[in-house]
Amino acid sequence: MNSSLKFILAFIISLEISLKASLTTNLIVIAFALIYLLVTRIKIKELILLIAVPFIASFTIFATLFWFSPTPDAYYAWNLSTRVYVYTLTIACVTRNTTATDFARSLEQNLHLPSKFAYGVLAAINIIPRMKTAVKQIRTSAMMRGMYLSFWSPVLYFKAILVALNSADNLAQGMESHGYVEGQKRATIVAIPLTKKDWLIFFTLLILVNISLFIFK
């Protein structure tokens, strides 16, 4: 399925589920998301992390609404706690087998977003590993001078911002040197197709979710 349509579908489903309470629909979406992840051969370690990490937030919501509320409501507690898994697993389905480059190209070609936005998203994603390396270098350099920069140290973030600004300037110069001109029409190197099958899957899943929301509680 086209990555842009997957993103829109996940966004609409998450929005509708947040507005209409339906525990059955939450469980159905979670089940289908898990099946999709298993069919696409997700690693067991990644699947365990997807289940374990949101558990803290989900359990906190359930405990707050059921055990520590003056008027405990089991249905409401289960409904809100399962929404955490709906949001997490639907986003996992969107990112499954979709690279940042393909997603940026899809935003530009299929949703007709400005190329500067698409390239900006791609640049922001690709600069994250470089920023992690820069932060490690800054902390190592500080330790060699007898300074320990903690995770919440303002000095660490100030120096990281300077590195980010320098990287942004280098990126802009690199794009210009490769012929990028803002507002000009660009040729398509790799086309991202948007087929009738993609639209069929999109509307089928969307209709099924909406039917479930209005039928089940």
| Helices 74-95, 23-39: crossing angle, 10 deg rounding | 30
Q: What is the pTM of this model?
A: 0.76
Which has more confidence, 155 or 85?
85
- Domain locations in the chain? 3-101+192-215, 115-177
Tokens encoding 209: 């979710």
- Answer yes or no: is pLDDT of 203 > 90: yes
What pLDDT, in 10s, does the model give residues 142-197?
788 777 777 677 777 777 777 777 776 777 676 666 566 666 666 667 788 888 99
What is the structure's pLDDT at 28? 92
What pLDDT, in 10s, does the model give residues 109-145?
888 887 777 777 777 777 777 777 877 887 788 788 7
Residue 101's pLDDT band (cuts 50, 70, 90): confident
- What mean pLDDT is predicted for residues 17-28? 89
Q: Does residue 109 contact residue 188 with C-beta atoms inside 8 Å?
A: yes
Which has more confidence, 69 or 96?
96
Q: Does residue 75 contact residue 23 with C-beta atoms inside 8 Å?
A: yes
- Answer yes or no: is pLDDT of 217 > 80: no
- What mean pLDDT is predicted for residues 200-216? 90
Q: What's the mean pLDDT when you consider all of the chain?
A: 82
